Homo-oligomer: A and B are copies of this chain.
Amino acid sequence: MMGPAMTSALAKRLRSYLDLTTTEIDTLDLLERQRRPVAAGEVLMREGELTDRLVIIVDGWMHSSLTLPDGSRQILQLHFPGDLVGLSTLAWGMSGNTLTAVSTCTVATFPQEELTQLFRTLPRLAALFYTIAAAEQVSFSDRLASLGQTDARARIANLFLDIISRLRIGMPEAVTGGRFELPVTQSDIGAATGLTKVHVNRTLRRMEEEALIEREGRSVVLIDEKALVRIAGFRDRLRHIATEWLPSPTPRQSPPLMEVVAAR
């Protein structure tokens, strides 16, 4: 632990993977200088909308989704504080999916030019971003296998386990034992798992009968997590991200870390 008081959600997240230099932290802080609240249910960015801005979730849950021509909706990812969202903007200059606030949120947005700047000046962070993108690709792969190969119960188990393992990393205070708040409707669970809300309801009910889970209001308790892991074929791939391959923290422009700290 080092550097100035931490305010940046992104920096907080990245610090869980890596000790950051003060320069890196300052740069990340700068990305979040423009923060604003988003009401629950509000759409922050719509699919196909032209934009040059990326989003950092500072507080609350969001989700990204796609809507098909027939009106059906696929929820792609749940986003938590510290997530950097809207990368598709980089590739197309427009948003590739719709970004909606699940709960009341605070977000920060910044233009992609600032990421350009970051890639030029802080190669280690660039490499870390790339690594995180690689990890997300694996996460997408697991979801794909879940949707393609497993039944309703396994898909829901997979979703719950994915959520709880992400929360345990980024917001450990939001998980007690196997309990966590799930501020989404059964309809949303269906949109995420490729099931109808009716079948989600029946499946949740059955899982409760089987003593796999419990529900109390808006919160879920994973009673038999081991069984859920088995049912879903779940593999926790978030516990650790390899950072050994990253370039050294300070490129030639600036002095090594210890000197910076010593100079303060």
- Interface residues of chain A, those whose CB is within 8 Å of chain B, are 52, 64, 66, 68-70, 72-74, 76, 87-93, 96-97, 112-113, 115-117, 119-120, 123, 126-127, 129-138, 140-145, 147-150, 193-194, 230, 233, 237, 240-242, 244-247, 251
Contacts and interface: CB of A to CB of B under 8 A. Distances in A.
Copies of this chain held together in the complex: 2
A242 B66 CA distance: 21
A74 B148 contact: yes
Given A93-B242, A149-B68, A242-B93, A135 B237 contact: no
Contact of A88 (B87, B123, B138): B138
B149 A233 contact: no
A192 to B, nearest CB: 8
A237 B132 CA distance: 22
B88 A134 contact: yes
Nearest to A145: B74
A96 B236 CA distance: 12
15 contacts: A73-B149, A74-B141, A74-B144, A88-B138, A90-B245, A91-B135, A91-B242, A92-B237, A92-B242, A116-B246, A116-B247, A140-B140, A140-B141, A147-B194, A148-B194
B66 A141 contact: yes
Given A90-B245, A120-B251, A140 B144 contact: yes
Contact of A96 (B88, B138, B194): B138
B130 A97 contact: no
B137 A136 contact: yes
Given A90-B131, A194-B149, A119 B123 contact: yes
Contacts of A90: 130-131, 134, 242, 245
B135 A133 contact: no
A200 B8 CA distance: 49
Nearest to A70: B233
A180 B132 CA distance: 35
